[in-house]
Amino acid sequence: MAGDRRTVVDPARSLALLWRTREPVSRGARPPLSVDRIVRQGIDIADAEGLDAVTMRRVGEALGVGTMSVYTYVPGKTELVNVMVDTVYAETARPADLTGWRVRLEQIARENWALYRRHPWLLRAETARPVLGPHLLAKYDYELTAVDGIGLTDVEMDGVLTLLLGHVRSAARAAVDQSELERETGLTEGQWWQAHAPWLELFAAGGGYPTAARVGTAAGQAYGAAYSPEHAFEFGLHRVLDGIAVVVADRPGGHERPTRE
């Protein structure tokens, strides 16, 4: 979890929280306090103000209860953010009627792109050690079915998802960085580009970098900015799918399979 990666959590207690195998009975709070209410409040705060704004005290204040009441349900911020991550994973749409692995993977990429745009804090909260909650597993299972039965090994199926979602995450992080720069500087990307583009053309062309001047100017005119996360997402998505198509075609018996009901 972002914030303090050195925090060590008790796996048994963390998983019990994620899977809701045991939960204290609410006493006194109206409406009754619960893990779900605490997590939803944490998500609302993170969406509005970022992950650093999420503290046990802040969540308690927003819910109208004391900090210790929050600790009764959730051991700490690390565990809280873990459940927040697993909870928002449930938001991705999972239609069962899409035909073709490429169509299915594209839908998965777009759902994850939209998820990061709704919850930018998720980019900081995710780590290489996944949150093994029910919504993560449901999401992973659904996404794997996009390439199940088309000739890939199980490890290759996992690798395809890692490649695809890694691309989505990279483009989404650039989009968040761009938004933060606009907020911090008070300049939109278009305004920044209008102020700097003439100097790029002047220095790059005059300094013996004609290719950089030509391509940089063309890209800037196309994006209205120095960089477009949306274009990077779209262009990269189709190139990733093209690469996966080469792998599938190279596998003996690589083929489509009927969409799982």
- Per-residue pLDDT tens listing for the chain (261 residues): 444 555 667 888 889 999 998 777 766 666 789 999 999 999 999 999 999 999 999 999 999 999 999 999 999 999 999 999 999 999 999 999 999 999 999 999 999 999 999 999 999 999 988 999 999 999 999 999 999 999 999 999 999 999 999 999 999 999 999 999 999 999 988 898 888 878 777 777 677 888 888 888 899 899 998 889 999 999 999 999 999 999 999 987 665 544 443
Q: How many CB atoms lie within 10 A of CB 30?
A: 7
CA separation for the pair 177, 180 (Å, rounded): 5
Distances (CA, A) of 119 to 106, 191, 203: 20, 26, 39
Instruction: Identify the architecture of domain 11-89 in CATH.
Output: Orthogonal Bundle (1.10)
Of the candidates 149, 147, 165, the one whose C-alpha atom is nearest the C-alpha of residue 157 is: 147
Ordered by start, the domain boundaries in the chain are 11-89, 101-250
Tell me, what's the pLDDT at 212? Answer: 85
pLDDT at 146: 97
Amino acid identity, position 48: A
Length of the chain measured in residues = 261
CATH number of this structure's domain 101-250, picked from the four choices 3.40.50.620, 1.10.3720.10, 1.10.357.10, 2.30.40.10: 1.10.357.10
